[in-house]
Amino acid sequence: MTRADDLFTIVRNEEEQYSIWPAGQEIPTGWEQVGEPAERSACLERIGELWTDMRPASLRAHMGQST
């Protein structure tokens, strides 16, 4: 059985970088919630699926313009 204290939320910033944050706590400024709270391992697995390019969005955009 999962306790509320064991749940995390995936968060993403404007650079499309991901992290996890304890569910139920206020999300820091500059970050937005992605999906519903889940266990830590499930959140980390989902981040692995979503965050396939570790470069910040601004760098990806810059590199795309220079090629």
pLDDT at site 15: 96
Banded pLDDT at 4 (limits 50, 70, 90): low
As a whole number of angstroms, the distance between CA 18 and CA 48 comes to 9
Domain 9-51 has CATH 3.90.820.10: yes
The rounded radius of gyration (Å) of the Cα atoms in the chain is 14
As a whole number of angstroms, the distance between CA 31 and CA 12 comes to 5
Average pLDDT estimate for 12-28:
97
Mind listing the pLDDT tens digit for each residue in 29-66?
Answer: 999 999 999 999 999 999 999 999 989 899 988 988 75
3-state SS assignment for residue 4: helix
Neighbours of 63 (CB within 10 A): 10
3-state SS assignment for residue 15: coil
What are the structural domain ranges in the chain? Answer: 9-51
Q: What is the pTM of this model?
A: 0.81
pLDDT at site 1: 57
